[in-house]
Amino acid sequence: MQGLIKPYGRKPVTLCNDSLILLSPVRAVTFITSHPGSNCMHDVVSSKKMENGIVVFWEEKGEKTYESFNYSELIDMKINALDLLERPKSYKVDKDAHTLIVKK
């Protein structure tokens, strides 16, 4: 990823293969590309409200796996916490990048 501009001195962060997120103090822009056979994004199957955030669950290699997100992280990703609780199957999670996205 040579020649990439680093906005406001921050480094771009690579997500799953060729995906990229550029961070700035004002907003975050996420470019997510899907690749056949890519196993970095998983379909969320359920979610649970916790004291300081939400835990999301997905199936990976036949086992239920989870990742927790605090409310500040959800706000930064522009994820509606109530929607995530009511419609968890509308989301995908990338555990390595600690990111949630809405399915299209």
Report how far apart, in Å, the C-alpha atoms of 30 and of each of 23, 38, 99, 101 are: 9, 18, 10, 10
Q: Which two tokens stand for residue 27?
A: 């907003």
**What sign results for the dihedral spanned by CA atoms 75, 81, 83, 89?**
positive
Q: Where are the domains of the chain?
A: 42-102
pTM: 0.63
Is 3 exposed, middle or buried (CB count within 10 Å of its CB: 0-12, 13-18, 19+)?
exposed
Q: What are the pLDDT digits (tens) for 40-77?
A: 899 999 999 999 999 999 999 999 999 999 999 999 99
